[in-house]
A and B are shown apart, each in its own frame.
Chain A
Amino acid sequence: KQEVTQIPAALSVPEGENLVLNCSFTDSAIYNLQWFRQDPGKGLTSLLLIQSSQREQTSGRLNASLDKSSGRSTLYIAASQPGDSATYLCAVKGGLWGGGNKLTFGTGTQLKVEL
């Protein structure tokens, strides 16, 4: 069974800091990994998709890396802003044991960027 863990569970940083969010998964036979942002009570906004054959993806101030063999991904946020405050979720699609075409999510990292 695929399991996804995100560390830390919560993070509070001053504006302008660069930060790293971590995601690990137990079954490395994934199709892809996706990072999402979720504002309180809202749906999920896709940030970055990394295919299993890729090492990283970049979008603006965001950079996500994937090390499939070790079951790890990191989301790097440069020059954080108060508007980045949200919960960040990591999800993997696939896996040998019943992963199929569904997404398996971590519990998220709640980020607060303070002025």
Chain B
Amino acid sequence: ETGVTQSPTHLIKTRGQQVTLRCSSQSGHNTVSWYQQALGQGPQFIFQYYREEENGRGNFPPRFSGLQFPNYSSELNVNALELDDSALYLCASSPFITNTEAFFGQGTRLTVV
């Protein structure tokens, strides 16, 4: 059974650029959630995907968007990058049943300069 994997692990982008982060969910999990963690803070919920559809969204602007594919992997896209988007982006997968455990990947460290 493979865990949650994210790519890339680190990247540096320039303000105004666009970025795509990727996540492969754990085997058997059909729900993927994305979180943003600023330095010294707890993770903040961005959105969740279930069976290729968005199933909840946190307080993030529309320039944060996502996709989920038929194999349940997912992408997070951020347009018009701002300096404040610099953070650790975490992906979590779980079965859709509400009372199950969430498993996180190792994260992607995004630096916007």
Contact = CB atoms under 8 A, between A and B. Distances in A.
Same complex? yes
Question: Interface range on chain A: under 10, 10 to 19, 20 to 34, or 35 or more?
Answer: 20 to 34
Question: Interface range on chain B: under 10, 10 to 19, 20 to 34, or 35 or more?
Answer: 20 to 34
B41 A103 contact: no
Contacts of A89: 42-43
B98 A31 contact: yes
The interface residues of chain A, by DSSP majority, are classed as strand
A20 B109 CA distance: 30
Interface stretch (B13-21, B60-68, B70-78, B100-108): B100-108
A52 interface: yes
Interface of A: 4, 31-32, 34, 36, 41-46, 49, 51-52, 89, 91, 93-94, 100-108
Top 10 nearest A-B pairs (CB, nearest first) are A105-B42, A43-B106, A44-B104, A102-B45, A43-B107, A49-B101, A31-B98, A107-B42, A43-B104, A31-B99
